[in-house]
A and B are shown apart, each in its own frame.
Chain A
Amino acid sequence: MLGELSPKINNNIFYDINYSPTLGDSTTNFSLNQINGTYSKVGNFVEFSVNCSWTAKNGASSTLILSLPPGLPIKNSVVNMAFEIGYSRGVFITSGYLQAVGLPGTNYITFESTTASGTPSFVLCNVCQTTGIVQVSGRYFI
């Protein structure tokens, strides 16, 4: 049954749409010199890819957030989203490994580091370097 539907999806449904993501904290955005965001939406399902490089933090200091496609917040449920980080530079973490998470009801990505012993913490703008780049892709439900 699903196999019969595939041609319809390929021919009529998927759309590649560009948007301009923002990066910073909830009140102050970084200055960006590469701003690339693309997404496709099929019903309640969104797939996206973002590339941002920044040249100044402009005083942003609290939790680092990267915007998702406009008007398409993550489904307001108990499920947090896990996204892929393809490349990053300048996103400083003290230890452990970096992850990109989408919280229910929000329209942005936050970043977390988890230590090898399993303790997580959010990445803050004030520990990011003055310049850097981050590339994130993923999928989520709205």
Chain B
Amino acid sequence: MLGELAPKINNNILFPRTYIPTIGDGTNNFTTSTALGFYSQVGNKISFQSSVVWTSIGSSSGQLRYLLPFTIGPSVFRISCSISGVSGISITGSYLVVNGSSGSNFVTFQGISSSGTGTTVNCSSCSASGSINVGGDFWIN
């Protein structure tokens, strides 16, 4: 059944695309050995999965930012993303969360303590090498 649907979808509806995610402070990006993302767009909804492996943080110094395939829509307050394969990102707190704001084409990172306090992750908290996978859904309008 699914097999029958796939050709129709591939021809007419689904838009699997690739993009190149970047990680850094938004001005100075890390040097990456792997940087690839996939996304699909259905109406205003974007679903994506992406992965980066970096080998140098270069001169990045500010807030750690990760590039999305599109800008988050104006009707969206904030988005959260799922992460996996995290290495080389040191946090203050117990666990790492990723979120983005309306009008931004990137997500930022926070370490959350057991008491619920969030601390922004800066590039200076990243090791010379590391990796992260980021995925999620968001709306562009």
Question: Hey, which bits of chain A sit against chain B, CB under 8 A?
Answer: 2-3, 5-6, 8-9, 13, 15, 17, 41-45, 47, 75, 77-84, 96-97, 99-102, 112, 114, 116-120, 138-141
Residues of A within 8 Å of B14, CB to CB, are 42-45
Instruction: Tell me if B85 is interfacial: C-beta within 8 Å of chain A.
Output: yes
**Stretch from B22-30, B55-63, B91-99 at the A interface:** B91-99
Check if A45 sits within 8 Å of B16, measured CB to CB: yes
The total of Cβ contacts below 8 Å across the A-B interface reads: 141
Q: Bound state CA distance, A116 and B112, in angstroms?
A: 10
Residue of B whose beta carbon sits closest to that of A141: B38
Residues of B within 8 Å of A81, CB to CB, are 49, 84, 133, 135
Chain B: minimal CB distance from A16 (Å): 12
Residue of A whose beta carbon sits closest to that of B11: A43
Q: Bound state CA distance, A96 and B91, in angstroms?
A: 10
Known contacts A83-B135, A114-B87; 13 further A-B pairs (Cβ under 8 A) = A2-B15, A13-B9, A15-B1, A15-B2, A43-B40, A44-B14, A45-B40, A45-B47, A79-B133, A82-B49, A99-B84, A116-B91, A116-B93
Residues of B within 8 Å of A17, CB to CB, are 2
